[in-house]
Structure 1
Amino acid sequence: DLSRETGISAPTVSKAVNDLLKLGFLEETTQSNNSLGRPGMKVRLATQKSRVLGIVLDSEECVVVPALLDGTTEDEKAIRFTPPDDYLDLLKQLAAAIASLSAGSDVSVLGIGISSPGLISFSSQTSLLVPSMEVLGSQCIAVDLERETGFTTLAMQESRALCLAENLFGSARFLKDFVMMDVGTWLSLGIFSNGSLFNGNDGLTGQLGHITVDPAGSRCRCGNQGCLGTIATDKALTASVNARSGQSLTVAELFQRIRSGAMRVDAELSQVTDYLAIGVAAVINLFNPGTIYLHGRMLGVTSDFLGSLIRSVRQRALPPSFEQCTIQAATVNRLHGAVAAIVHHLTLNVGPRLG
């Protein structure tokens, strides 16, 4: 069937399939009822004997989870912990979680993907600037984990990983031009252009949150003043409400109170929505994407948050570009992003071997 569909010779297809079987990417299922010629081998993406591990690094919580190659995460097996302030301690806890998830099983771990905040060099895998998780600064956590565990490991900036996940596992499978906008604790973009993830010179792309919108505004953790991310994120909303109310609520606590009706934050939420709309409109005007996917807790702060945001974006974006763009919630999460990063990396590495 593969030979007929692709036009590639049967011996070449057979060799490629056998190599993928040996590598653990494919597995045999029941015999095919192919009526043309000899009975064919029926194969599928490996589900029984192969896994990858996804790691999400975040200032609030780190998560390690096993997953199938199709992006399905085994959340019931996830290991979660609060990140320590010391890098070696973080490395030790991650290595222990990986050992726990990969030990005592006949399932092979093909690789590890890491979704990480900050700027990550595409070429060296170094975390160059991570204001939200300083323990990672100037470290090569993927390189260090690979040395500790022996598993192929790749780190990717979280919004870029989300973008890749939406393309591999989500609703953007057949889209060539779209943007993933992470609107959580920070603002950053993953950009899919002409069918590929846009890397720029070294993968340091998409830092929308560090565009200055108020030169006299609050100081950002990057060192500048008035960055968009200091005004248009869930943490910015929480900080603004806490300043007015004199409380010390976390983002989760504030959102729970808003949704339950115990707290009204109309003025603060309106300001955050307006500034976020400025960012979304800028993305539309700059990149002319067919779709913008939004990811983050902000989308659930009220039942009409997304609708309100889109109405504000409509007022600020250039009309022709806005009319060509669909704005919708992402269908993937950061764990999917971590899995997508390593699946994509492994697939690229397999290509030359099969050639």
Structure 2
Amino acid sequence: MNNVSPFQPKLLSKINERLVLKMIQERGPSTRSEMSKYIGVTFPTVAKAVSSLLDSQLLEEIDDTSEGPGRPAKRLRLASENSQVIGITLGGDECTVVVGDLNGVVHEESMVRFSTPATYETLLKEFETSAKQLMLQGGKKTLGVGVSVPAVIDYREQVVVLSANMPFLNGKSIGRDIQAHLGQECVIVRDSHALSLSERLHGNAKEISNFAMLDLCAGIGLGLMVEGRFLTGDSGFAGEIGHNLIVPDGEMCVCGKRGCLESVASEWAIEKRMSGILGRPVRINEVLEMAQAGDQQAINELERMCEYLAIGLAHVVNILNPGTFFIYGRVFEACPELLNRLVEKTKALALEPSVSACEFSLASCSLQDGTVASVINYLTDSLVPNLDGYLSSLRQNDSQNGVSEEALVSN
């Protein structure tokens, strides 16, 4: 006779809830009958999962009048009328706070912008003031907060390890600190990782299992999706392309090393070079305006940036063989012809079979989309615990209760 673990029903319930959410994320509003058929579980099982998700305000019911007269069926959709999430974006120059729905829609009319403060304490106060203002609007329940950070993050410890362009964040648990200020669950994510999550959940990568995301802003980041799984690495450091050596004994980087990709191809690197050329401080927006107006010096610097970026992209293509390479950055939005130059240079450097199988495209999502996607991803994935960790705790508990591992496995 097999012993049954007391944890299994709870785990199975959470898995069913996750399957329901996944179906709605992928297929849109659905009835309970449609869920039962698509997921392959009984109607009562779906009804139980839906009931729990409604109680959690992750889902909401709407009438379905598309099937003609008679009593309308009830469809379930991701919450938008009664629930919301808050997305916070940190940038070297500007920070934003915005409201989003669980279906990934960002309400830009709600966006609060402010210049990035010089101190960590002031930053927290600004976020608290802005977020609380948005949480009180509309009468919706806030389910969580997502924060994108331009930094290397230790996801296990939820600590910023290195923010070369915002060093006052180093060593800080900004997610926990914001959570303490707001009284809301808060998840932090690296900005390039946030962009990748948004593209996967709500953008042009819904059907793509292998893709890379270049994030070009003040620094340079990389997001990676491999076989449908977001690659973070052992501690969360995966995708650190900006501080790879490109020019031996080259320019000093903000990280303290020489010759990093960021030192020759980031926004701050372009600003530094153009400032030296013109003999006065120049910001990236001015450089882009100059290039759009046909200024050859600005164009030359942006093309030089593409040549160095292509080296980094070629390495990624050769090593990881992504099916699609998404490119994010206001440089490419302002000067679309630069994308063609970047792709041309990358194709010339990468291994032909790999690069010929890779499509290059501008990212369809923004950093604000990414912060909202990060908290949605956290809310849905937290329904099902890490199975390795779950089984480990399960074995320990059942061992204490005299349940053999053979019985556990057979269950």
CA distance, structure 1, for counterparts of residue 234 and residue 144 of structure 2 = 25
Stretches of structure 1 lacking an aligned partner (at least 5 in a row): none
1:238 aligns with 2:271: yes
Moved more, 133-142 or 232-241: 232-241
Task: Give the counterpart letter for 1:198 in structure 2.
Answer: L
CA distance, structure 1, for counterparts of residue 280 and residue 164 of structure 2 = 24
Give the equivalent residue in structure 2 for 1:247: 280
1:12 aligns with 2:63: no
2:128 pairs with one of 95, 117, 122: 95
Q: How do residues 68-147 of structure 1 correspond to structure 2 at under 5 angstroms?
A: 68-103=101-136, 105-147=138-180
Task: Give the counterpart letter for 1:323 in structure 2.
Answer: S
Distance 1:32 1:181, change over 3 A: same
Give the equivalent residue in structure 1 for 2:9: none
Q: Is the 8 A contact 2:288 2:298 kept in 1?
A: no
Give the equivalent residue in structure 2 for 1:320: 353
For residues 44-98 of structure 1, give each alpha carbon's deviation from its aligned partner in whole angstroms, at most 9, with x where no partner exists: 1111111101000011011000011121111111111112222121111111111
1:329 aligns with 2:362: yes
Give the equivalent residue in structure 1 for 2:338: 305
Moved more, 15-24 or 255-264: 255-264
Task: Give the counterpart letter for 1:51 in structure 2.
Answer: Q
1:172 aligns with 2:222: no
Q: Is the 8 A contact 1:230 1:236 kept in 2?
A: yes
The higher radius of gyration belongs to 2
CA distance, structure 1, for counterparts of residue 353 and residue 200 of structure 2 = 25
Distance 1:41 1:230, change over 3 A: same
Task: Give the counterpart letter for 2:112 in structure 1.
Answer: I
2:328 pairs with one of 282, 291, 295: 295
Q: Is the 8 A contact 1:126 1:138 kept in 2?
A: yes
1:341 aligns with 2:374: yes
Q: Is the 8 A contact 1:95 1:149 kept in 2?
A: yes
Aligned residues with identical type, % of pairs: 32
Q: Is the 8 A contact 2:287 2:298 kept in 1?
A: no
CA distance, structure 2, for counterparts of residue 237 and residue 222 of structure 1 = 16
Q: Is the 8 A contact 1:234 1:297 kept in 2?
A: no
For residue 74 of structure 1, give the secondary structure of its aligned residue in structure 2. Answer: strand
2:254 pairs with one of 213, 221, 235: 221
Give the equivalent residue in structure 1 for 2:96: 63
Give the TM-score taking structure 1 as reference length: 0.94
Q: Is the 8 A contact 1:52 1:111 kept in 2?
A: yes
Q: Is the 8 A contact 1:33 1:40 kept in 2?
A: no
CA distance, structure 2, for counterparts of residue 160 and residue 302 of structure 1 = 24
Give the equivalent residue in structure 2 for 1:161: 194
Q: Is the 8 A contact 2:192 2:223 kept in 1?
A: yes
Moved more, 25-34 or 112-121: 25-34
Q: Is the 8 A contact 2:84 2:143 kept in 1?
A: yes
Q: Is the 8 A contact 2:92 2:218 kept in 1?
A: no
Moved more, 251-260 or 328-337: 251-260
CA distance, structure 1, for counterparts of residue 344 and residue 280 of structure 2 = 31
1:282 aligns with 2:282: no
Stretches of structure 2 lacking an aligned partner (at least 5 in a row): 1-33, 386-411
Shift of 1:350: 2.4
CA distance, structure 2, for counterparts of residue 216 and residue 29 of structure 1 = 62
For residues 285-337 of structure 1, give each alpha carbon's deviation from its aligned partner in whole angstroms, at most 9, with x where no partner exists: 11100000000022134341111111111110000001110011000010111
